[in-house]
Structure 1
């Protein structure tokens, strides 16, 4: 099913998931959709592997954690998610050297916490990994002492797709 892209979220310089200047990172791009879901798109590489040809489960966990945690920013970009717990189910191997999509959504929230779910979707549409998580809502200045200026947190020049197929 096609979903209209509403907005692209910012990327960082060094993050293992979205860092555009992290040579070993996933370089995921995050898109807010019309249905209030967040989709990350990334290309897996052989240096993300555990067993040959398979992405390490920890990399899959990081992708899902980041995507679910960022979904809270769809309605308020000043609020970020800090992980309290994350539960994953590995259903199929995630191959290296392929483009995958990671979907995240908020399922429940109150003033201080939120819960979400997500999945990694393979190019053939199959779900490889699912996750549910609980997060604390926090403004970025409570998470890090580092200043997130335009050298660390920015919109890159990548073209934004009009639709994403899930």
Structure 2
């Protein structure tokens, strides 16, 4: 499924000079994957990635897996579990997974989850979210 062109997206935009340049690929029908290496300009505490940026990585993975399914939706609720600090310079694997959907009287709601792992396969952070179809 081709993605919607949004060159100025903070997380994945090619035209945005401060973009994270995330490139997600489908790894099965309901999963996407990307890699990211945080640099010094992504830190909160010295040597540790800013927690808000971790949230961005997780949210973007879930948005992409929903987008790859051809659904246009926005984040309505985001719950994050930070497991351990993410160090600057470590290669991260970000996985987004589509879980399910349900229709309410107002809109269709889509559920997804995302996880961030280090190169050794250690879980660094995990999120679950609800997306409302636009």
> TM > 0.5 between the two?
yes
Query: How many angstroms apart in 2 are the aligned matches of 1:25 and 1:114?
Result: 26
Q: Which runs of 4+ in 1 moved over 6 A?
A: none
Q: Which runs of 5+ in 2 are unaligned?
A: none
The alignment covers a number of residue pairs equal to 130
CA contact (8 A) 1:70 1:80 kept: no
Please give the residue correspondences for 1:21-32 in structure 2 after superposition, counting only pairs within 5 Å.
Answer: 21-32=15-26
Q: Which one of the candidate residues 48, 54, 57 is aligned to 1:60?
A: 54
- Counterpart-to-counterpart distance in 2, 1:54 and 1:86: 22
Is structure 2 residue 104 aligned with structure 1 residue 108?
A: no
Deviation readout 1:25-82 (Å, 9 max, x if unpaired): 3111110112520112222111011011111010010111111122112232xx2220
Q: Which residue does the alignment assign to 1:70?
A: 64
CA-based RMSD of the aligned residues comes to 2.0
Partner SS for 2:116: strand
Please tell me whether the aligned partners of residues 104 and 117 of structure 1 are also in contact (alpha carbons under 8 angstroms): yes
User: What TM-score comes out, normalization by structure 1 length?
Assistant: 0.70
Taking structure 2 as the reference length, what is the TM-score of the superposition? 0.86
